[in-house]
Amino acid sequence: MSETGAMRDHWYPVGMTKQLTEAGRDTLLMGEPIRVFRDGGQPQVSDGAGRALPVIDRFGHVWTSLGTPAKDLFTIPEADQPGRRLVDVGVCRVRCSPLRAVENFLDIAHFPFVHTDILGSEPHTEVERYEVEIRDDVDEVWATKVKFFQPQAAKSAEGGITTDYMYRVCAPTCSVLYKTCPPKPGEWDVIALFVQPLTETLCDVWPWMALYDDDAEMTDLIHFQQMIFVQDRSVLENQLPALLPLDPGMEIPTRADMTSIAYRRWLKRHGFTYGAQLVAA
Amino acid sequence: MILYDYILSPSCYRVRLMAALIGRRLDLRPVDFHPGQEHLSEPMLALNPAGTIPVLQDDGLVLTESTAILTYLAAHDAPAWLGEDTPAMRARVAQWLAFAQRLTDSAGAARAHDMLLAEGEIAALRGQATQALRELEAALSAARRRGEGFLAGNRPTIADIACFPHVALAPDGGLPLDPYPSIRLWMRAIRALDGFIEMPGIHRLHELKPEPGPMPEVIRKEKA
């Protein structure tokens, strides 16, 4: 299956605004060649036939759509709070379904094994019960009251802490997580994963953050997140089946996978199947 | 010693790993290589006109080749890592240090292409990397038949540390290591060294941690 389906009319990241040049760069969006460039200072995107595609410049990235988006790109109100540092982490290409990249971002259970002694550690491997819902008013998947013990939750963390998380899927290939902000209790750090679907089994991942951290060098913040994401990369490239199964039966979820189950259900409900597989009943 | 470093760079990891194995503390200066291209900034080019990292600075000495940095660290703190002091063994180590550059230029470039969208003819790079991996497999297989576990004899040297990162990360560039059993055993031996540290994409040996409880009766009997 390589129909773009209902995902065609949604927004996708296709580059970092800061890196745009007039010469531009050629890339793919759901199998179709596009060009991302700057013209008269403004970000532009054109398709293979030279037709101008819609453009939004937000969260440090350029967004476009092959179709006709019915609504604006999502917002992250917390990211506009004064005093936050906005971090463009830079692209990382992964040979996996764009939907698998998002699903991995939603998973907590792998922390002690893949991000050992940073986002998790043995024997603190249990994922306690948390709450998941599909919020119909905003049409987003939300997981709340997630708690996990972390040896080094963020660049700014000193020593192990139990970290609170909230996860949000706000577009087919985009997720935002909110987590305890060590230097500013009561506020949330914002970490987003923006995924550009190149094909059904290849994606460019553009992590982005809006953090309260007055001390760390920008390069340290970038490297911390790159380290975390590249620890995930080899795992993602080895997941089978490559296309994310939306029907039960191919994989057996556990209680810790509630967010993933809701995400798959939400994808199926909307016909967001680019990078997914459906099993005939 | 100051190391201009990038967390995702296998060549920088060579130096971090070597330092960890011999207990040398490094003062790390992270360079925004990607996406910031800081290695091509004026201050970095003043330090290293070649525009590459790692760069090691120590007492007015500036080293810009990672294999030379390994040589320096070992000579400075732990000469046993230079290999046995015989003409043949010193030459073998030098041979593998040069070979490590081939890995950087092939497997390393394939990984940079696949992961960070660097320029490159991917098919040609993978072809060159495959050739290098086959040579390494043959050499390690022959070494095992001689009863040697490492590239230059029976103990790890800077030759192993120079070659290990790009080999271990080859799958990141679309080069699976399944066809190379001797390489996989050798990598396991390196990961089991005291003081070994990871980098993103190279995991530690979880399974070497102590067993959580007493060994089951049946296994104890078999061992006895």
Sign of CA dihedral B174, B162, B150, B133: positive
Interval B92-148: pLDDT, tens? 999 999 999 999 999 999 999 999 999 999 999 999 999 999 999 999 999 999 999
Q: According to DSSP H, which parts of B34-180 are helical?
A: 42-47, 66-77, 87-103, 109-116, 122-145, 158-168
Residues B127, B45 share a domain? no
pLDDT exceeds 90 at position B73: yes
pLDDT exceeds 50 at position B201: yes
Number of domains observed in the structure of chain B:
2
Domain end call among B33, B60, B80: B80
Q: In this predicted structure, what is the pLDDT of residue A252?
A: 84
Instruction: Look at B35 and A90 and tell me if their CB atoms are within 8 Å.
Output: yes
Residues B100, B76 share a domain? no
Q: Which candidate from B7, B172, B206 shows the least CB-CB separation from A226? A: B7
Interval A121-176: pLDDT, tens? 888 999 999 999 999 999 999 999 999 999 888 888 888 889 999 999 999 999 99
**Mean of the pLDDT values across residues B206-214?**
59
Let me know if residue B110 belongs to a domain.
yes
Residues from chain B that touch A112, judged by Cβ atoms under 8 A, are none
Q: Which candidate from B30, B174, B200 shows the least CB-CB separation from A230? A: B200
Let me know if residue B57 belongs to a domain.
yes
Chosen for mutation from A194, A234, A235 (greatest number of chain B CBs closer than 10 Å) is A234
Query: Measured between alpha carbons, how far is A33 from A38 in angstroms, rounded to an integer?
Result: 17
Query: Measured between alpha carbons, how far is A24 from A36 in angstroms, rounded to an integer?
Result: 5
How close does chain B come to A19, measured CA to CA in Å? 9
Please give the full DSSP string across A176-209, using - where no structure is assigned.
EEEEE-TTSTTSEEEEEEEEEEEETTEEEEEEEE
Q: What domains appear along chain A, each with residue ranges and CATH number?
A: 83-277 (3.90.380.10)
Q: In this predicted structure, what is the pLDDT of residue A1?
A: 41
How close does chain B come to A120, measured CA to CA in Å? 14
Let me know if residue B212 belongs to a domain.
no
Q: In this predicted structure, what is the pLDDT of residue B218?
A: 56
Instruction: Look at A227 and B204 and tell me if their CB atoms are within 8 Å.
Output: no
Residue B221: both structure tokens together: 């009997």
pLDDT exceeds 70 at position B200: yes
Any chain B CB within 8 A of the CB of A93?
Answer: yes
Return the minimum-mean-pLDDT range out of A137-146, A181-190, A192-201, B25-34.
Answer: A181-190
Residues B76, B14 share a domain? yes
pLDDT exceeds 70 at position B223: no
Let me know if residue B215 belongs to a domain.
no
B107: domain CATH number is 1.20.1050.10
Which of the four pLDDT bands, split at 50, 70 and 90, describes residue B219? low
Answer for the pair A143, A167: CB distance below 8 angstroms, yes or no. yes
pLDDT exceeds 80 at position B221: no
Query: Measured between alpha carbons, how far is A33 from B173 in angstroms, rounded to an integer?
Result: 23
The per-residue pLDDT of chain A, averaged, comes to 94
Let me know if residue B43 belongs to a domain.
yes
The per-residue pLDDT of chain B, averaged, comes to 94
Let me know if residue B162 belongs to a domain.
yes
Let me know if residue B210 belongs to a domain.
no
Cis geometry, peptide bond prior to residue A123 (ω within 30 degrees of 0) = yes
**Mean of the pLDDT values across residues B214-221?**
57
Residues B92, B185 share a domain? yes
CA atoms within 13 A of residue A224's CA, in its CB half-sphere = 19
**Mean of the pLDDT values across residues A191-202?**
98
Residues B91, B14 share a domain? no
Interval A53-90: pLDDT, tens? 999 999 999 999 999 999 999 999 998 999 999 999 99
Q: Which candidate from A95, A220, A233 shows the least CB-CB separation from B30? A: A220
Residues B106, B59 share a domain? no
Nearest CA in chain B to A207: B35
Cis geometry, peptide bond prior to residue B54 (ω within 30 degrees of 0) = yes
Q: In this predicted structure, what is the pLDDT of residue B205?
A: 83
Residues B173, B120 share a domain? yes
Instruction: Look at A226 and B31 and tell me if their CB atoms are within 8 Å.
Output: no
Which of the four pLDDT bands, split at 50, 70 and 90, describes residue B207? low
Residues B147, B92 share a domain? yes
Any chain B CB within 8 A of the CB of A16?
Answer: yes
Residue indicated by tokens 């590239």: B151
Any chain B CB within 8 A of the CB of A86?
Answer: no
Query: Measured between alpha carbons, how far is A55 from A64 in angstroms, rounded to an integer?
Result: 5
Residues B90, B74 share a domain? no
Domain around B161: 82-191
Any chain B CB within 8 A of the CB of A125?
Answer: no
Let me know if residue B219 belongs to a domain.
no
Q: In this predicted structure, what is the pLDDT of residue B35?
A: 96
Interval A94-120: pLDDT, tens? 999 999 999 999 999 999 989 988 999
Please give the full DSSP string across B88-127, using - where no structure is assigned.
HHHHHHHHHHHHHHHHIIIIIHHHHHHHH-----HHHHHH
**Mean of the pLDDT values across residues B144-154?**
96
User: What is the percent of chain A where pLDDT is above 90?
Assistant: 85
Residues B66, B88 share a domain? no
User: What is the percent of chain B where pLDDT is above 90?
Assistant: 90
| A205-224 residues touching B, CB cutoff 8 A | 217-220, 222-223
Domain end call among B53, B80, B107: B80
Residue B213: both structure tokens together: 């409880």
B37: domain CATH number is 3.40.30.10
Residues B38, B90 share a domain? no
Instruction: Look at A233 and B117 and tell me if their CB atoms are within 8 Å.
Output: no
Residues B105, B57 share a domain? no
Domain end call among B41, B64, B80: B80
Q: In this predicted structure, what is the pLDDT of residue B166?
A: 98
H helix or E strand, kind and range, residue A164? strand A161-171
